[in-house]
Each structure stands twice: as structure tokens, then as C-alpha cells.
Amino acid sequence: PLGSAFDERGRLLLGGCDAIELAREHGTPAYVVVEDDLRTQARAYRSAFERHAPGAHVSFASKACPCTAVLRTLEQEGLGCDVASGGELALALNAGFAPDRIHLHGNAKSEAELVAAVEHGIRHVVIDNGDDVERLARIAAERGRVQPVTIRVTPDVRGETHDGISTGQADSKFGLGIDETRTTIDRVRGLPALRLDGLHFHIGSQLLDLDVFRRAVAAIAPLADGLDEVNLGGGLGVAYTADQVAQLPSVEEYVQVKVAAVRALIGDRVRISDEPGRSLVGRAGVTLYEVQTVKRNVSTWVAVDGGMADNLRPMLYGARYEVQVADRFLAAGSAGTACRVVGKHCESSDVLVADARLDDPRPGDVLVTPVTGAYGYAMANTYNGVPRPPVVFVGDGRSRVVVRRERVEELWGRDVPAA
Ligand code: LLP
């Protein structure tokens, strides 16, 4: 990640801190976030939008890393916040986001979530289905409020990504199809407790080919007449592995393509908003592990002290990551030891990197998996009674814990003792 380099002994530095020392000081596994990289990405988004679409509203899709320090940092950088539940709403408010910079998503919003959104006066509730309309109108009317909304449209386009994170196809649990959107626009316009501001689409995540955004804008354009805003839903991928680097568009290209599509197909007047998640935080984060054992049978198994509990992505999406020994990165051209880096959990599919090449891995080595800042901490769990790792911010050669490691007592902290 940006902000990382090597010292004269070839040891990895993260935000100026020695990765081995970070592992010693904070324990492993640990999520490490290079604060400067977070800020740099946030600024890249803000400045690209300022140049191409002045006044655009950029929010962080907080599901990618719902941690207060990350939220605060991005709030300071002037971003808004996209939340997908009452819990994420509470996190965003607690982190300091003004309600008028928050919007609420969800394909199954509860009464309580809608009430919280209205009572806090958030910027937008994103309508996902007809029931949202009726419930939200009643809740707002009962409180004498007018709630601004956008409508999530399913444009029926398919980006190239894993099925599990593809959402723009007609047969999706998210959003409303083109025809239902048309009738929903009329319905919302007839309800005095709701104010229709615009449309929204999110067609999928980890997208590397920008053309799909142009197709999505083209699909919703006929619906946008007279509306103030269109939210383009984030979705830009990150390069998890070296072979993806060449495929990855820059933030600049991504913004330029999206804005050009809106200007050409919808018009100059409409306000643009976007809500990237992964591409804001992914590259800023790495995970540190310690090797516990190296075993050889048909394969060479390098087993670490974390795994599917701190990074579900390989298991859920077949996601590929790179991995290195933090003080012995494999020299270019060297074959190294072909191995499988696996976790400590009781499942054969608990594989972090199936086709790793490491420089002579041995117990005690600190391993690093780059680009784990998005959807790692967010989806962490305590399977096999493994407490969740800390989040450590690094910068200018200093580190600070922003989420402490879960304590083992917390594993039974919610258990109600039998009488
Ligand atoms: N907006 C909406 C409505 C979304 O559902 C999402 C992501 C985003 C924005 C942000 O998309 P991004 O810029 O991060 O692509 N757990 C999966 C990713 C799930 C994405 C869910 N929605 C993974 O680890 O790949």
C-alpha cells in the first residue's frame, strides 16, 4: 500500500513503522491501516469530483470498514456516509457525521430503522421497495416531518464481478426495476410527507470495467426527468494482486466516465453523488499474521494465527490475495517456496492464499496480506472462539490502536448464566 516502503534491511515499513515491530507490539493477527493512504484516497475522490462535477456529494459506504476511527477520518476529509442499517446509522452519528450527510440503504429496513432515520433528519432514505414508501410516509407524517428520499433502481446491467457482489441484474433482491420505479416515482410524488430528490443505483462491487456504469446511467436516464440528484453507487474495485494493477482504472478515470455519462445522458443540471466503499479503504489496510507451523504432505501448508474469522473473502468469493514474509519479501525472479497459506479454523476452506510463494517460511515469521482494508474487519467473526483482531492506525513512524483486540471474556460476555 501507499505509505509503505522497506528499510535498509529489507523489512516492510507501514506508515513509517516496522511491520515486525508492529506485530510484536500489538500482537497478531492485526489489521493495520495507513492513515495517510485513507486521506489520500478521500482527497482523490473529492478533487476528481470537484473538477468534473463541482458540488458533487461523495459518501463513504461505511459497510466496507465500520470503525469509528476510519469514519472520523473520512468525515474530516469532507465525505458523507452511507449506512445500511440502524447499527451503521448509530455508528456514523457517534463518529460525528452530521445527519444531513447520511443516507440510509437497506432492502429490508425495519420500522425502528426508518423511525431513527426520520427522527435524526438524515439526508436521504433510499427507497428499495414499495413497502418502504408506505411505511416511511406514515412514519414521517406521524411526526410532522417531510423526509427526503431517493429511489434505488435496478438498471438490469451486469458488471463483471463475483455473483455474490453483483446487484444490478433484473433478478436482484435490491432496488426496483425500471417499470416499478416509474410507478413508484408517481406514488412518492403524491405523498406530502416524502420529498423525492433523485435516483440511485448500485450495480455491484469490485468492478474494474467502467463501461458498465455508462450502461447503467443509460438505463435509468429516461426516469430522471425533473429529478435533482443521481447517486452512482460506488463500486470501483481495487487491485488485490499484481495482475489486477494494469486492469484497475484510476479514481480520476472512474469519476470522469461516470460524470461524462450523466452529463451526456441525463443532463448538466442534475447533482451527482457517489458512495464508494472498497476503493476508499481497501488499499490502506494490511493484515499481519504470525506463522504457527509449516507442514509438508502433498502441499506445503503455512498455517497462521488468523484466517477466515478475520478475512472471509477468500472463502465467500474465491478472492485472491498476495502474501509475503514481512522481513523477507521474495526477491523478483526468485521462485521461493510454493505453499498454501491457511488459517487456524476448523474448515478445509479456511485458506487465505492458495497459491503463495514465500521466502523459506518458518514458524514465528510475520506474514502480511496487503489490500485487506475493505470488508475484512467489517465481516470479522469469532468462529472457533478466536477474539477479533485490533485495528491499528500508522503514520509518521507512530502507531495507535483505534480498535482494541477483543478479550477472551467477551466471547461469553453476552451469555446469560443459567439460574
Ligand atoms: N452502495 C451500496 C448500496 C452498496 O450495497 C455497496 C456495497 C456500496 C455502495 C459500496 O460498494 P463498493 O464501492 O465497496 O464496491 N462483502 C463484499 C462486498 C459487498 C458489497 C456490498 N455493497 C466483499 O467483501 O467483496
Question: Among 41, 60, 63, 232, which is best to mutate for testing ligand 1, by the most ligand atoms less than 8 A from CB?
Answer: 63
CA of 143 to the centre of ligand 1 (A): 32
Q: What pLDDT shows up at residue 220?
A: 98
Nearest-atom number in ligand 1 for the CA of 235 is 15
Ligand 1 pocket check for 61: Cβ under 6 Å: yes
CATH of domain 4-29+285-372+389-407: 2.40.37.10
Ligand 1 binding pocket includes 88 (Cβ within 6 Å): no
From the CA of 275, give the closest atom in ligand 1: 9
- Per-residue model confidence (pLDDT) at position 331: 85
Q: Is the CB of 235 under 6 A from ligand 1?
A: yes
Measured by CA distance, the residue closest to atom 19 of ligand 1 is 165
The model carries a pTM of: 0.97
Range 35-281: architecture per CATH: Alpha-Beta Barrel (3.20)
Q: For the chain, what percent of residues have pLDDT higher than 90?
A: 93
Cite the residue boundaries of each domain of the chain with CATH code 3.20.20.10: 35-281
Q: How confident is the model at residue 8 (pLDDT cuts 50, 70, 90)?
A: confident
| Residue 419 CA to ligand 1 centre (angstroms) | 43
Distance 244 CA to ligand 1 centre (A): 19
- Taking only the tens place, the pLDDT of each residue in 393-405 is 999 999 999 999 9
**Annotated binding residue 50:** no
Long-range contacts of range 124-128, CB-CB < 8 Å, 24 or more positions apart?
A: 124/148, 124/149, 124/150, 124/197, 125/149, 125/150, 126/150, 126/151, 126/152, 126/200, 126/231, 127/151, 127/152, 127/176, 127/184, 127/188, 128/152, 128/174, 128/175, 128/176
* Tens digit of each residue's pLDDT (9 = 90 or more) over 189-233: 999 999 999 999 999 999 999 999 999 999 999 999 999 999 999
Q: Side chain identity at 22, as an amino acid letter?
A: L
Q: What is the pLDDT of residue 1?
A: 52
pLDDT for residue 100 is more than 80: yes
Q: What's the grid cell of residue 367? A: 506474514
Nearest atom in ligand 1 to the alpha carbon of residue 207 is 15
Is 313 annotated in a binding site? The answer is yes
Q: To test the ligand 1 pocket, which listed residue (202, 273, 281) has its Cβ within 8 A of the most ligand atoms?
A: 202
290 is in an annotated binding site: no
Q: Which of 161, 205, 244 to mutate to test the pocket of ligand 1 (most atoms within 8 A of CB)?
A: 205
| Ligand 1 in reach of 59 Cβ (< 6 A) | no
- Closest C-alpha to ligand 1, atom 7: 205
ipTM value > 0.90: yes
Give the number of the atom of ligand 1 that is nearest the alpha carbon of residue 64: 14
Q: Is 277 labeled as ligand-binding?
A: yes
List Cβ<8 Å contacts ≥24 apart for 91-99: 91/62, 91/66, 92/62, 93/120, 94/68, 95/68, 95/71, 96/71, 96/72, 97/71, 99/123
Mean pLDDT of 111-117: 98
Distance between Cα 39 and ligand 1 center (Å): 20
- Specify the amino acid at residue 372: T
Cα–Cα distance measured from residue 167 to residue 260, given in angstroms and rounded to the nearest whole number: 23
Mean pLDDT (the chain) is: 96
User: Does ligand 1 lie within 6 Å of residue 274's CB atom?
Assistant: no
Nearest residue (by CA) to ligand 1, atom 24, is 375
Residue whose CB lies within 8 A of the most ligand 1 atoms, among 162, 278, 369, 375, for a mutation test: 278
Is the Cβ atom of 375 under 6 angstroms away from ligand 1? yes
Check whether 417 has a pLDDT greater than 90: no
State yes or no: 16 annotated in a binding site: no
Judge whether 317 is annotated as a binding position. Answer: yes
Ranges assigned E (strand) in 305-375:
324-325, 337-342, 351-358, 366-370
Ligand 1 centre and the CA of 98: distance in Å?
22
Is 375 annotated as a binding-site member? Answer: yes
Q: Tell me the DSSP string of 229-269.
A: EEE----B----SHHHHTTPPPHHHHHHHHHHHHHHHT-SS
Using the predicted structure, report yes or no on whether residue 2 has a pLDDT greater than 70.
no
CB 363 within 8 A of CB 379: no
pLDDT confidence bin for 414, thresholds 50/70/90: very high
Q: Name the segment(s) of the chain with CATH classification 2.40.37.10.
A: 4-29+285-372+389-407
Contact 347, 37 (CB under 8 A): no
> Hey, what's the cell of 224?
430522471
Whether the CB of 64 sits within 6 Å of ligand 1: yes
- Which are the catalytic amino acids? 346
pLDDT, tens only, 38-62? 999 999 999 999 999 999 999 999 9
